[in-house]
Structure 1
């Protein structure tokens, strides 16, 4: 029964003139359900689930689908910071409540009695708890700030008054954790006086995609009907989507408009009550007698701080951050401002509930938000354990438990290796799952190229990085220089590229084999994939530059070689002279053939009875060869 009542309440809060924020009953997760789930021990003790929508799955029959955390009151039990709370300084203030003809006065002497925790406690239909501000003088402001520590998508904000309404209420949001602030919505009894804006609402304002983030000022009207606890029958509600183009899928501008990390509510009083003349949307004067502010809470004289609490001037509403220029929204103080008569103090603002309906922002790629357990590693081993001997730890910041190959606090980017298409938010039409780069299992790293993506008609834009297994190319689909393709293996095989095995004498130096065929560049007259034999009609020589010459020229070559070796030589020249790095060569040596050479960069060889020592690579081993040429 309670769940049904809460559902009806939320629908009522977000309903404005028959416009309802799109929230379905199956999508609504109550905090009571969340607490029950969190009370059960998680499968992973290092992860604490805060929000989870079990009915919003991220995969259906193996296919990725849009999923989201639950819609709930994200302000519930959250800490609210106020710049002024009744009795916070230990100075008693008398607060009188007028309800149904009766007067009930209390002395407020502690902030806990009327503290901000009462704004976000568990809502009950007969909730009588109210936060009460300190004394607010004319021209001053009280700020309420809610910090969530993560981005949320907000659908509505509601305030339940239980006392005198401020002259104006301004809602500000931050999407960068309080670094900068932007106006979100204004409420005022006089929009023109307060913000130099016309009085409007979500239904008569002409908002299109071009001005979808336009800030409105809505009339703030006091209720004449209050219950026994002093609560007003009116609820101040701001919807982020009603009256704005919100056809699915949402535009990026609307999503940005709905996103916040921090909320600030500024409760303001006009500079004085002498100038009660109001303006309508055209700047015309209205009859002051039309204004009937509620007087639910009254500050008595004789007890309290005598109005000593100064509050914040409207010019410095956001002085805590100093990031928002409020000059265009200042109140115009009267030059003839007169102080309140002696013995009188300011008024108190009072609200019973603050509700913020929204979701943990995961961009359609997760159905739950969690906190990770962080172990204390900064302390020494003796100091990082508690009384039970357990290692000290704490829960980290809130984050999405991402799916669809995404990562980040809000699942706002694709995971490494999944950049074949640009990141996109998941929608009901498409989950927009991040696509793995096609690197043929030779790399786990890639970058996205929008130019290639557009050239491929938005099919593929990934460019692989750090290709392994001697591969190169956009998809690691080609063999690197000095390697060639083994066509007997699939392109994804880790040995698909073989090292070129070009003969050091028969191949052209400083050139590599063809990466597709493995054919080495051969010298004239030399053939074979490795350039290791003479072609038909050619004879082998001992010349490094011309290892094969035509048969018709071979006789002249042999004759010339014979004449050179028949020259008179001294006996000592006939003996082999050992190389300083090689042992003596044997006297009996045969002419070395191409097939006896191992793959290597050929060096210089002696062509007399001398031996030259070289290192050649044979397979994966270094082998020392003694090369000796003799004359037949």
Structure 2
């Protein structure tokens, strides 16, 4: 996987990251180097390079109307208070310190985003934040830093490739019991751990009330999973995302206020209580790798610099002409280079077909029937899975190899040929009634080329050897004693009297005997018959 770095203006120490992991933040692209004295630390410098990421939320404090908010940390009994005060939030203010838009969460400064407090209604427990990274990354971790409020209580971290369908990455709940009751997921106790590459866990570890401000949420998506060292396709798919969504569902409150807030509409409660409950985020950092699927040495923010005969913004497909085997992501142990199709230099593109592979119909460039590459738009009048045959109306001379250029010769009179054949070279497979190497004459029994109609003379009923020569019929030769007439059919068969058989009516039928001039006699099974006809003559 290639390396790119995104980081805020501050240095970030993250011991869980491998040295080749990139740091994503939605704003800056610094040069990233590894401190050899501390291999777990990524150090960054901070050029003013801006990524075209987009972040949005469905609610912000002071929009549409200004409001007053208070800091919870300044209203907790027993805590020292330094200059306690309630401040004003106004999305339309000319004073920057009064505006808290969602873009503050990714601008690399100490400014923050803030939601409306629940003084405005219970609906402001449910807020959605969406970050569009503008290209697909493999996300390794997400760090969220709260500002002047506690971390969110119940919420879901989600991912999406298209911005339409979102899947959960991790659930967060105020208590372990709410993991089961709200999300139907068995809670993880203590720091999160993972059983498999796609497990979606629920934890209450990052939803504790303390610290009341400046708390952090660390979500690792790769490290700690079984496939982290040699990325599996399952883990790659699980961590791939262009869109990251935070579905905030419950603000973390003091236990002393919990019953009051649960039983009554916040708008009916003393504003001194409700004004101090809201969400705030001053930083969202995302760590990960460019999605080049193991097919690039480096990847700037634009499309990956693909290798292994792969193409696409994320090296997520084989290049044209390299589909002999299906595309696969590269891994540390296997490059999975896309293999060129064998089109005998007659086509520049192909596609993979699993049925062709199963039937072993495709020839690879080593001359082995392995893979499913099917050539597209064969040139030079060729056709076939590997452009190995000729199109109708063309043939390849026997002395020429299939890879040689411009060797297909056109057959003559091809309107009389059905299909092409290369063996013997130039032999047309002719339509009915036509013959010759190029179907340029009538077949035996047909006449009048190029119409080639069937000749009428029947060879069995004539003395002819050629059905197209003047027909001279044979004499019927019917036995006058046994036939009804002297005529016969075209096969020379005469029409016999009853009890007479044979093509020429010259013998008795079964069940008759004594072929005489007046016909055959029916056999009667009597003692006289047995006397006159020994057993060898019995019918």
Q: Over the residues paired in the alignment, what is the CA RMSD in angstroms?
A: 4.8
Q: Do 1:151 and 1:259's aligned partners in 2 also have CA atoms closer than 8 Å?
A: yes
Query: 5 Å matches for 1:161-310?
Result: 161-166=146-151, 168-193=153-178, 194-201=182-189, 207-208=195-196, 212-222=198-208, 231-232=214-215, 235-269=216-250
Residue of structure 2 in register with 1:319 after alignment: none
Q: Describe the SS at the equivalent of 1:216.
A: strand
Aligned to 1:50: none
Inter-partner Cα distance in structure 2 for 1:164 and 1:11: 23
Equivalent residue number for residue 430 of structure 1: 334
Structure 1 Cα separation of the partners of residues 299 and 102 of structure 2? 28
Deviation per residue, 1:293-318 (Å, 9 max, x gap):
xxxxxxxxxxxxxxxxxxxxxxxxxx
Q: Which ranges in structure 1 are unaligned for 5 or more consecutive residues?
A: 37-52, 56-69, 278-287, 289-332, 372-398, 533-541, 546-556, 562-632
1:86: which partner in 2? 61
Structure 1 residues 338-384: Cα deviation after superposition (integer angstroms, max 9, x where no partner): 8653443332322321111123322223432555xxxxxxxxxxxxx
The alpha-carbon distance between structure 1 residues 83 and 409, as it changes in their structure 2 partners (threshold 3 A), is same
Which residue number in structure 2 is paired with residue 354 of structure 1? 284
Q: Structure 2 unaligned runs (5+)? A: 35-43, 361-367, 441-447, 453-465, 471-539
SS in 2 for 1:453: helix
Is structure 2 residue 269 aligned with structure 1 residue 341? yes
- Name the structure, 1 or 2, with higher relative contact order (CA <8 Å, separation 6+): 1
Q: Alignment partner for residue 515 of structure 1, among 408, 422, 425?
A: 422
> What do the CA deviations read for 1:220-246 (whole angstroms, capped 9, x no partner)?
3547568xxx634xx211111234222
CA distance change for structure 1 residues 350 and 117 in 2, over 3 Å: closer, same or farther?
same
Aligned match of 2:370: 459
Q: Does 1:157 pair with 2:142?
A: yes
Which residue is 2:403 aligned to? 492
Q: Distance in 2 between matches of 1:256 and 1:430?
A: 18
Shift of 1:23: 3.6
TM-score, length-scaled by structure 2: 0.60
Q: Deviations over 1:235-271 (max 9, x none)?
A: 2111112342224442322222211221222334369
Q: Measure how far apart 1:142 and its partner are.
A: 2.9
Contact 2:170 2:200 in 1 (8 A): no
Distance 2:324 2:156 in 1: 41
From 383, 386, 391, the equivalent of 1:480 is 391
SS in structure 2 at match of 1:22? coil
* Equivalence for 2:299: 368
Cα distance in 1 for partners of 2:422, 2:222 equals 59
Alignment CA distance shift 1:448-1:513 (3 Å)? closer
- Equivalences for residues 18-33 of structure 1 within 5 A: 20-24=16-20
Deviation sequence 1:93-114 (CA, Å, 0-9, x none): 2444649641343632433533
Q: Distance in 2 between matches of 1:84 and 1:543?
A: 86
State the distance in 1 between where 2:107 and 2:316 align.
32
> 2: CA distance between counterparts of 1:31 and 1:364?
23
Partners of 1:201 and 1:217 within 8 A in 2: yes
Q: Secondary structure of 1:118's match? A: helix
Confirm or deny: 8 A CA contact 1:485 1:516 kept in the other structure. Answer: no
2:117 paired with 1:135: yes
* Residue 543 to residue 459, structure 1, CA distance change in 2 (3 Å): closer
1:424 CA drift (Å): 0.9
Q: Distance in 2 between matches of 1:454 and 1:520?
A: 32
Aligned partners of 1:161 and 1:350 also within 8 Å? yes
Q: Tell me the SS of whatever aligns to 2:131.
A: strand
Distance 1:510 1:364, change over 3 A: closer
Cα distance, 1:491–1:118 mapped onto 2, change above 3 Å: same
For the 8 Å contact 2:343–2:375, the answer to whether it is kept is: yes
Are residues 82 and 105 of structure 1, via their aligned partners in 2, closer, same or farther at CA, if it must alter by over 3 Å? Answer: farther
- Partner Cα separation in structure 2 for residue 271 and residue 8 of structure 1: 28
- Work out whether 1:420 is the aligned partner of 2:324: yes
Aligned pair in 2 of structure 1 residues 428, 205: CA closer, same or farther (>3 Å)? closer
Which of structures 1 and 2 has the bigger CA Rg?
A: 2
